[in-house]
């Protein structure tokens, strides 16, 4: 998911997406612990996506305060 796509989401959608991706990351980690993933870079991608989503959410919180 690109930053442009993230900015197009509503705040509620961003929060829902964060929760969904956190669950997805936990599943990937469990699967990776049991047997190696086909693409271990996926862990890194999901972690970074969560960070992008959280950054956008924080940016929105700060703009609301002003």
Whether the full predicted model's pTM is greater than 0.75, yes or no, is yes
Predicted local distance difference test score (pLDDT) of residue 9: 95
Distance of CA 24 to the CA centre of its chain: 9
pLDDT tens digits along 6-56: 999 999 999 999 999 999 999 999 999 999 999 999 999 999 999 999 999
Q: pLDDT value at position 15?
A: 97
| Dist CA 46 CA 66 (whole Å) | 31
Confidence of residue 66 (pLDDT cuts 50, 70, 90): confident
Q: Which CATH class is domain 3-61?
A: mainly alpha
Residue 1 in this model has a pLDDT that exceeds 90: no
Give the integer Cα–Cα distance in Å for 17 and 58. 14
């Amino acid at each position: 998911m690109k930053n442009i796509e993230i900015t197009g989401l509503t705040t509620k959608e961003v929060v829902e997406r964060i929760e969904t991706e956190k669950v997805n990351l936990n599943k990937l980690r469990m699967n990776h612990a049991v047997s190696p993933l086909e693409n271990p870079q996926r862990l890194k991608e999901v972690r970074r996506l969560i960070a992008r989503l959280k950054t956008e959410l924080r940016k929105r919180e700060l703009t609301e305060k002003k």
